[in-house]
Amino acid sequence: MRLAIAAAAAAFLTFPVHADDLAPEAREHARALAQAALESDLAYEITESLTTEIGPRLAGTPQEARARDWAVEMLTGLGFENVRVEDFPMDLWTRGHSIFEEVAITHPFPQELYATSLGGAAATPEGGIEAEIVFFESFDDLLAFDGAEDALEGKLVFVNDRMTAGRSGEGYGWANRKRTQGWVEAENRGALGLLIRSVGTSSHRFAHTGMMSFPAQRLPDIPALAVSAPDADQIERIHAMGETIRVALRTHSGWRGEVTSGNVIAEITGSEAPGEIVIIGAHLDSWDTGTGALDDGAGVGIVAAAARLILEAGERPRRTIRIVLFGAEEVGLVGARAYASARMQDGTVGQHIIGSESDFGARPVWRLSSGVGEHAVGFFDAMQQEMAFLGIERGGNSSGGGPDMIPLAAMGVPMARLDQDGTDYFEFHHTPNDTFDKIVPDEMAQNVAAWAMFTWLVADSDVDFRARPEPEAQDAAEGEPAP
Amino acid sequence: MRLAIAAAAAAFLTFPVHADDLAPEAREHARALAQAALESDLAYEITESLTTEIGPRLAGTPQEARARDWAVEMLTGLGFENVRVEDFPMDLWTRGHSIFEEVAITHPFPQELYATSLGGAAATPEGGIEAEIVFFESFDDLLAFDGAEDALEGKLVFVNDRMTAGRSGEGYGWANRKRTQGWVEAENRGALGLLIRSVGTSSHRFAHTGMMSFPAQRLPDIPALAVSAPDADQIERIHAMGETIRVALRTHSGWRGEVTSGNVIAEITGSEAPGEIVIIGAHLDSWDTGTGALDDGAGVGIVAAAARLILEAGERPRRTIRIVLFGAEEVGLVGARAYASARMQDGTVGQHIIGSESDFGARPVWRLSSGVGEHAVGFFDAMQQEMAFLGIERGGNSSGGGPDMIPLAAMGVPMARLDQDGTDYFEFHHTPNDTFDKIVPDEMAQNVAAWAMFTWLVADSDVDFRARPEPEAQDAAEGEPAP
């Protein structure tokens, strides 16, 4: 199977190879690391431990704090150096009651709906709301709605956009606009609340949660919920009958004040250039409805296991490898911003030679993308050649490195990404179904093999990956998914 | 695709053909009905209407009563005769609060679990229960547990049996024992409650509900719940670590006293032998967590549409076709027993020439099974030949006709069954995911084609299907699924 994948990948190869960019000893060591990774269950075991012993770990909650304790113990136990937590403040939002909100159609056909609040939403008034739905086939229709400023006054806005599945999650950004921006459009027009068809591609009854966006720090005064796809179908069917639809809802979510979260950091100190940092990341927090196995327990397992294999092999890389397990990613990259801000303060942003994050599930890596200076593209071409036996193709050179890398990338830190197959990622993402049983051990081992190769090759190199080109339109086509 | 299936079916055909058993005109009319069925969306539309306009319809509730009103209107509108409701009394059980019970592991790793009460279970004491789990790998292990009579005193029993998927749902009966009988074994040994791994084959976070069995009318004093497969995995993983597991739960389910349910009946009166009845059935009630699309909105659509096509074709069959949409199937075949009992009282059991029920989802029919006198087997062999173009094979001659046919079959009424492909039925069955979007229109049309052929051929025939053989061991192999 893997050989077939590798052969297929080779057949489609169209990038030039600059074999000279990788030192023979580095190649050989990287290959040995990959072989060791393919025989190791360490990443799988780390993710099993996190999801079993901690489980859901919403940003800012005691569960996320327990996850930090767990991470410190795990990283220390694996033999990493300089294991530490960098705290940061954040505003806590919680659901308040249950992940299943009280939502029901009251007219014309009374029926309970399966729905869940979107992150950041306000609660309904204590007795709840009962109002008519105004049906929008798409978010664009809502944007284009030019009724009077109070045209939706006293109504509930429903937005019906569907997401399409794709290997790079390319349908997510588009479908997600209603989740992130819908509330502003609804609230500006006087609506009592926002209901959206669940983002994601599944046909199960769990609605996809996720944080909303807050322009200029404005927070919503209205409730905002996603209803599951089959329940959105129900609304759509009744709407198609020409009936007026009324919905009752009662929610308890809201902002709970400032709390402390943190990023957990660990290192393998470089042998020759310890001040040069290769940063590999994942995020420790998860949504509260699942156990955050794919998002992002898998990433935690993958980067920690890859680094541990390097440690285990005994040979120290030239540069320092820094693992960062970010806090509070799901609620707006709060940990990533805090990390970048702290590095601005201590003046070490420039020491970050390259970065990457694993945060797209646990399916096989199928592509190596880079975001490096033009002179270093050949280095990545050669790296992909080394990875071809894992079924990995070469991507473009405008990768942003992953969600938690965004603040560093914005400061000019070079980036790379080991793109995972996300075709079914949004079947589970941000729902209760994001659980450990969805992970396939062999697929996870393939990830670790790719990560161990990448991490070793960039950390043991003396290539400066900086002088990054301006981001291009290609960015969108390569589908860097939002958090 | 269909041609390929038909060809494959023909190649495997091993049964003798008694073509003489079907009149040429009957064959021709049956073929015309099948063609009309394949071009009709009526069944799909009926099921859409039931699930959209009524939705969940737990036996004995006002929703089930609304479904009866809907059914009377639907059957009358389609032009059937003698449309009527036969009421019967039943004991109402409801969940009481929410389909999501408050269940959580409290030790060693606090985490909420997704669980749902089993039908018939008692509520916890008002403040809930918090107790240690005793882990049983299988229901057989619980049966074999020979500790003292109070060995499980003060504990919660957990049973971990897994179900395997199969076309005939053959894994269901075995896996279901823990659901139906588990509470007795737990309660007899002093346990405070029963938790089981969700019956069904899915890996989503919704637990499979369903009625328990009550030997000698005894009702449980303890709560009994199914936890979703990923949550059962969590319990299994912690158990494998050698840890003691404590669980807290609080439920509100219970018996609410006697209420009225009913069976909805409609007919096409036979032209020559109106006193001879072909009974075709489905059930109107559903579990409360989904909208009962597959179980059994689909059956309602299929049998009503098949009969309507016969009516529409203009030619009346010799015998009377009686559609019965049973109430209160899910809670113990209460409607089916009431129907059989009423026919005992009015002395018309013997007028039932043959019966069948559609109650296994909406996937294609792949086999025609019979339960008729030996002399009539050839008739069914010939019928299967007519159906072969639909991809339908010949089954054995020990079919029980379907869950709601059990009481009539026990009284000697001949039976038949159009066996549906149930490979993925238990992905959705008895969970919130049993919704209309899971139905494929073309597959439903294939069902109706088979049902129209079957119904016409037996109703227009003068063959007496009675003198039914004793049921054989084959019964189990053919997998008549439990309700």
- Assess whether pLDDT exceeds 80 at residue B471: no
Question: B222 and B347 share a domain?
Answer: no
Of A52, A203, A431, the CB nearest to B237: A52
Question: B106 and B169 share a domain?
Answer: yes
Question: A405 and A447 share a domain?
Answer: yes
Query: How many CB atoms are closer than 10 A to CB B221?
Result: 11
Q: With cut-offs at 50, 70 and 90, classify the pLDDT of residue B13.
A: very low
| Residues, chain B | 483
Best residue in A109, A162, A205 for a mutation probing chain B (most B CBs within 10 Å): A205
Question: B211 and B317 share a domain?
Answer: no
Q: Is residue A415 part of a domain?
A: yes
pLDDT tens profile B352-390: 999 999 999 999 999 999 999 999 999 999 999 999 999
Structural domain ending residue among the three candidates A252, A285, A301: A252
Question: B272 and B249 share a domain?
Answer: no
The whole-number pLDDT of residue B147 equals 73
Question: B133 and B178 share a domain?
Answer: yes
The whole-number pLDDT of residue B477 equals 39
Q: Does the CB of B243 have a partner CB in chain A at under 8 Å?
A: no
Number of structural domains found in chain B: 2
Q: Is residue A483 part of a domain?
A: no
- Assess whether pLDDT exceeds 50 at residue A2: no
Please name the amino acid found at residue A203.
S
Q: Does the CB of A54 have a partner CB in chain B at under 8 Å?
A: yes
Q: Does the CB of B69 have a partner CB in chain A at under 8 Å?
A: no
Q: With cut-offs at 50, 70 and 90, classify the pLDDT of residue B101.
A: confident
Question: A386 and A349 share a domain?
Answer: yes
Q: Is residue A209 part of a domain?
A: yes
Q: Does the CB of B437 have a partner CB in chain A at under 8 Å?
A: yes
Cα-based angle A359, A363, A367 (whole degrees, multiple of 5): 80
Question: B346 and B445 share a domain?
Answer: yes
The whole-number pLDDT of residue B19 equals 41
pTM (two decimals): 0.92
Q: Is residue B103 part of a domain?
A: yes
pLDDT tens profile B212-248: 999 988 999 999 999 999 999 999 999 999 999 999 9
Q: How far is CA B189 from CA A344, A371, B117, B219, B433, in A?
A: 65, 65, 20, 15, 35
Q: Does the CB of A230 have a partner CB in chain B at under 8 Å?
A: yes
Question: A267 and A128 share a domain?
Answer: no
CATH number for the domain harbouring residue B283: 3.40.630.10
Strands B156-159 and B193-197: parallel
Q: Is residue B143 part of a domain?
A: yes
Q: With cut-offs at 50, 70 and 90, classify the pLDDT of residue A149.
A: low
Q: Which residue of A has its CA nearest to B48?
A: A237
Structural domain ending residue among the three candidates B231, B255, B279: B255
Q: Is residue A309 part of a domain?
A: yes
Answer with the residue of higher pLDDT: A280 or A170. Answer: A280
Please name the amino acid found at residue A73.
E
pLDDT tens profile A265-306: 999 999 999 999 999 999 999 999 999 999 999 999 999 999
Query: What is the rounded distance in angstroms from the CA atom of residue B106 to the CA atom of residue B91?
Result: 35
CATH number for the domain harbouring residue A156: 3.50.30.30
Q: With cut-offs at 50, 70 and 90, classify the pLDDT of residue B151.
A: confident
Interface of A with B in 205-224 (CB under 8 A): 205-206
Contacts of B111 in chain A (CB under 8 A): 55-56, 291
Q: Is residue B483 part of a domain?
A: no
Q: Is residue A482 part of a domain?
A: no
B262-278 burial string, b = 16+ CB within 10 Å, else e? bbbbbbbebeeeeebbb
Q: With cut-offs at 50, 70 and 90, classify the pLDDT of residue B6.
A: very low
DSSP state of A211: B
- Assess whether pLDDT exceeds 80 at residue A172: yes
Structural domain ending residue among the three candidates A191, A219, A252: A252
Q: Which residue of A has its CA nearest to B104?
A: A55
Contacts of B200 in chain A (CB under 8 A): none
Question: A203 and A226 share a domain?
Answer: yes
pLDDT tens profile A38-61: 999 999 999 999 999 999 999 999
The secondary structure of B350-403 as a DSSP string is GGEEEEEE--S-SSPEEEEEEE--GGGHHHHHHHHHHHGGGTPEE--S-----G
Q: Which residues pair with B268 in a beta bridge?
A: B321
- CB spacing of B237 vs A98 below 8 angstroms: no
Query: What is the rounded distance in angstroms from the CA atom of residue A162 to the CA atom of residue A182?
Result: 14
Q: Does the CB of A238 have a partner CB in chain B at under 8 Å?
A: yes
As given in the structure block, the two tokens for residue B475 are: 């019964």
Query: What percentage of residues in chain A have a pLDDT greater than 90?
Result: 89
Question: A453 and A306 share a domain?
Answer: yes
pLDDT tens profile B330-343: 999 999 999 999 99
Q: Does the CB of A162 have a partner CB in chain B at under 8 Å?
A: no
Question: B204 and B294 share a domain?
Answer: no
Mean pLDDT, chain A, integer: 92
Chains A & B: contacts with CB separation below 8 Å: 81
What's the burial of A318, exposed, middle or buried (CB within 10 Å: 0-12/13-18/19+)? middle
Q: Does the CB of B432 have a partner CB in chain A at under 8 Å?
A: yes
Domain extent for A206: 96-252
Q: With cut-offs at 50, 70 and 90, classify the pLDDT of residue A471.
A: low
